[in-house]
């Protein structure tokens, strides 16, 4: 099976498994698991922050940040297609008592002016904006990388309006690989950043939330409230630590495979795609006149897995374990299916 459903389907290889099996552990909730401490320190250093907090998932990292930055009745300013707004099951309202105020955006990227307008419109009868959230890279934006000038514009507006800024950087590693800009530079002006180890980096479990020391202490208490405290977590943290040391440098391979896939798809009849929009490892494309869910089932039957992302849209994600040969095979399978031939 050529599995292009997500970069979360990566599996630990033999070297990562050996690192996990040999991990030195303690009690992470009590603060004495040496592998977790090393992972947190390394992540904080890479992102240029004072501290980091390891937890089971990217969703938890985002929602801990929301809770730590806000009070019930506050509002988040973010785009309607962001992961926090679309894919975290209403957690801002359910867990933190805050509402999502969506901003106009282009492929997930909004402007500082949009932040200023939303903040100015808040009054006695509306939720008070407290936190701006940006997603970098942006999933539904097709793996869009936030340009540095865009981040600077939003940060300036947030500061002007007295708002904090959280970056959902689940794929921040991809943004750094695509642009050549170090992670600490991309994250420099965010009050908090969530980064994921179980996507393109290939670790089996976990994300880190980073920020200044005071914020991390608040977040630690929230993590405990949300049930995210883990005991001998060094076993899984060792996988994330191995990924940080060995897999960041290869993310550009995923990006090149995604671009190759996009170029191949662009030459197929009935496929609509803009290859120039593929900046990282996510490829969205439309199949004219075809039901995406049914077409995904056909692909699954012949050994290629993708996810439907709309009535006629499919998403393919390149990641660890996907080769250029897999990409070429996938294009060939699609060509035959779209031409009415047997794959």
Give the pLDDT means over successive 10-residue stretches in the chain (343 positions). Answer: 96 96 96 97 98 98 98 97 97 98 97 97 88 98 97 98 98 98 98 96 97 98 96 97 96 98 95 96 96 96 96 97 97 90 63
Residue 93 and residue 99 in contact, taking contact as beta carbons nearer than 8 Å: yes
Residue 44 and residue 195 in contact, taking contact as beta carbons nearer than 8 Å: no
Residue 336 and residue 327 in contact, taking contact as beta carbons nearer than 8 Å: no
Residue 122's pLDDT is: 82
Residue 36 and residue 237 in contact, taking contact as beta carbons nearer than 8 Å: yes
Nearest-angstrom CA–CA distance, 48 and 66: 20
Going from the N-terminus, what domains does the chain have, and what CATH number goes with each?
11-246 (3.40.640.10), 250-338 (3.90.1150.10)
How many of the other CB atoms lie within 10 Å of CB of 156?
14
Q: Is 11 left (phi over 0), alpha (psi -120 to 50) or beta?
A: beta
Task: Write the burial class of residue 30 (CB in 10 Å: 0-12 exposed, 13-18 middle, 19+ buried).
Answer: exposed
Residue 330's pLDDT is: 97
Task: Indicate the helix (H) or strand (E) that contains 320.
Answer: none
Give the chain's end-to-end CA distance (angstroms, integer).
Answer: 14
The residue behind tokens 């609509």 is 272
Question: Could you say which DSSP state residue 9 is in?
Answer: G
Residue 340's pLDDT is: 67
Residue 343's pLDDT is: 61
How many of the other CB atoms lie within 10 Å of CB of 72?
10
Question: Which positions ≥6 away from 109 have C-beta within 8 Å?
Answer: 79, 138, 141, 144, 146, 147, 150
**DSSP secondary structure letters along 184-213:** HHHTTT-SEEEEESSSTT--SS-EEEEE-H
The pTM assigned to this predicted structure is 0.96
Question: Could you say which DSSP state residue 7 is in?
Answer: G
């Amino acid at each position: 099976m050529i599995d292009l459903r997500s970069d979360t389907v990566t599996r630990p290889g033999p070297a990562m498994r050996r690192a996990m099996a040999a991990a030195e552990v303690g009690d992470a909730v009590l603060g004495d698991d040496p592998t977790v401490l090393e992972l947190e320190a390394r992540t904080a250093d890479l992102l240029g922050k004072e501290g980091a907090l390891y937890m089971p998932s990217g969703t938890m990292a985002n929602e801990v940040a929301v809770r730590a930055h806000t009070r019930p009745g506050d509002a988040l300013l973010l785009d309607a297609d962001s992961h926090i707004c679309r894919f975290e099951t209403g957690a801002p309202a359910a867990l933190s008592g805050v509402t999502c105020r969506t901003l106009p955006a282009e492929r997930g990227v909004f402007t500082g002016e949009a932040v200023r307008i939303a903040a100015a419109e808040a009054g006695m009868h509306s939720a008070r904006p407290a936190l701006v959230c940006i997603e970098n890279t942006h999933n539904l934006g097709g793996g869009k990388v936030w340009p540095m000038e865009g981040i600077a514009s939003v940060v300036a507006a947030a500061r002007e309006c007295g708002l904090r800024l959280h970056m959902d950087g689940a794929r921040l590693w991809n943004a750094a690989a695509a642009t050549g800009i170090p992670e600490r530079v991309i994250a420099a002006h965010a009050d908090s950043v969530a980064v994921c180890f179980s996507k393109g980096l290939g670790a089996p479990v976990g994300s880190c939330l980073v920020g200044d020391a005071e914020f991390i202490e608040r977040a630690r208490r929230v993590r405990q409230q949300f049930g995210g405290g883990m005991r001998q977590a060094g076993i899984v943290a060792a996988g994330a630590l191995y990924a940080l040391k060995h897999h960041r440098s290869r993310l550009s391979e995923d990006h090149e495979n995604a671009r190759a896939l996009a170029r191949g798809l662009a030459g197929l009849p009935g496929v609509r795609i803009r290859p120039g929009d593929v900046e990282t490892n996510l490829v969205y494309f439309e199949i004219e006149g075809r039901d995406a869910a049914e077409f995904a089932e056909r692909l699954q039957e012949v050994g290629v897995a993708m996810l439907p992302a709309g009535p006629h849209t499919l998403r393919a994600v390149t990641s660890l374990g996907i080769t250029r040969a897999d990409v070429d095979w996938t294009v060939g399978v699609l060509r035959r299916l779209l031409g009415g031939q047997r794959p």
